[in-house]
C-alpha cells in the first residue's frame, strides 16, 4: 500500500506541474490572441466603412447628377414662362418651377449631409488603416518573440504528459479513476498532505487517531471533509 500511495503522490506532482504549464501556456497565448481579436475588429470596421463609403459616393454622384438636371430643367421652364400667354398654363409652369426648386433644395441638403458624413468617414478610415497596420506589426513581433517560449512550454507539457502516462499505468485502475474524480472536483488537487494534524487540502483538523492511521500507511485514507487522498508529512 505504501508503494501505491507513493505513486499517487508522484502522479499528483506531475499533474500539478502539468496544470501550471497549461496555465503558463494559456497566459503566453492570451496576449497575441487578444491583440489578434482587436486587430480583426478594426479590420472588420474598416471594411464596413469602406463599403459604406463606396455606396455613399455612388449616392452622392447620383444626387449631384439629379441636381444638375433639375437646374437645367428650371432654366428651361423659366424660359418658357416668358413665352406663355395663357394664365392657366402660366400658373402650371410656375408651380412646376417651385416644385423643382424645392426638390433641388432637398437634393442640396442631402448632398451636403453626404459630404459631411464622408469627411468623418474618411477620417475614421484613415485612423483604422493606421491602427490595423500598426497592430499587424505588433502581432508579428509578439508572435516571433513568443515562438521560442511557446515551443519550450509545448515540449515541457509533452514530457510531463509522457511521464504521467507512464506513472498512471502502474496504478490500480479503480484507484486511478477515483483519483481523477477527486481531482476534477477539487481544482486538480486529489492528493493532500497532513501536517500537524491538518489536511492541507481543506485546512480541516483531523482526529489524532485518524492521523496515526494515515502515518502507518497500511491503507489509502481519504479526508472526511474534502475526500482527498491523504498522506502524512512530518517534515516540519
Nearest to 39 by CA among 138, 145, 142: 138
pLDDT tens, the chain, 236 aa long? 578 999 999 999 999 999 999 999 988 888 888 889 999 999 999 999 999 999 999 988 888 888 888 888 888 877 777 777 778 877 887 788 888 888 888 888 888 888 899 999 999 999 999 999 999 999 998 888 888 888 999 999 999 999 999 999 999 999 999 999 999 999 999 999 999 999 999 999 999 999 999 999 889 999 999 999 999 987 55
* Stated pTM of the model: 0.59
Which pLDDT belongs to residue 132?
92
Which overall architecture, per CATH, does domain 27-171 show? Answer: Orthogonal Bundle (1.10)
Confirm if 153 and 26 have CB atoms less than 8 A apart.
no
Which pLDDT belongs to residue 210?
95
Nearest to 39 by CA among 156, 158, 141, 189: 141
CA 167/CA 164 separation, integer angstroms: 5
Domain locations along the chain: 27-171, 177-232
Which pLDDT belongs to residue 81?
74
Which pLDDT belongs to residue 80?
76
Amino acid at each position: 500500500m505504501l508503494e501505491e500511495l507513493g505513486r499517487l503522490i508522484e502522479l499528483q506532482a506531475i499533474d500539478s506541474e502539468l496544470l501550471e504549464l497549461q496555465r503558463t501556456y494559456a497566459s503566453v497565448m492570451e496576449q497575441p490572441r487578444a491583440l489578434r481579436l482587436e486587430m480583426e475588429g478594426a479590420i472588420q470596421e474598416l471594411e464596413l466603412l469602406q463599403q459604406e463609403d463606396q455606396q455613399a459616393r455612388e449616392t452622392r454622384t447620383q444626387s449631384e447628377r439629379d441636381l444638375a438636371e433639375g437646374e437645367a430643367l428650371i432654366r428651361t421652364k423659366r424660359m418658357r414662362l416668358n413665352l406663355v400667354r395663357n394664365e392657366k398654363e402660366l400658373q402650371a409652369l410656375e408651380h412646376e418651377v417651385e416644385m423643382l426648386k424645392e426638390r433641388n433644395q432637398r437634393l442640396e441638403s442631402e448632398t451636403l449631409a453626404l459630404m459631411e458624413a464622408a469627411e468623418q468617414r474618411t477620417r475614421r478610415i484613415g485612423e483604422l488603416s493606421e491602427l490595423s497596420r500598426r497592430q499587424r506589426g505588433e502581432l508579428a513581433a509578439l508572435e516571433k518573440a513568443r515562438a521560442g517560449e511557446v515551443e519550450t512550454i509545448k515540449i515541457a507539457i509533452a514530457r510531463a504528459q509522457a511521464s504521467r502516462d507512464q506513472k498512471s499505468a502502474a496504478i490500480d485502475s479503480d484507484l486511478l479513476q477515483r483519483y481523477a474524480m477527486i481531482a476534477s472536483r477539487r481544482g486538480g488537487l486529489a492528493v493532500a498532505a497532513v501536517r500537524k494534524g491538518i489536511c492541507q487540502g481543506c485546512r480541516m483538523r483531523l482526529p489524532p487517531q485518524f492521523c496515526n492511521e494515515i502515518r502507518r500507511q497500511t491503507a489509502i485514507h481519504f479526508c472526511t471533509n474534502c475526500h482527498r487522498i491523504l498522506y502524512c508529512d512530518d517534515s516540519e
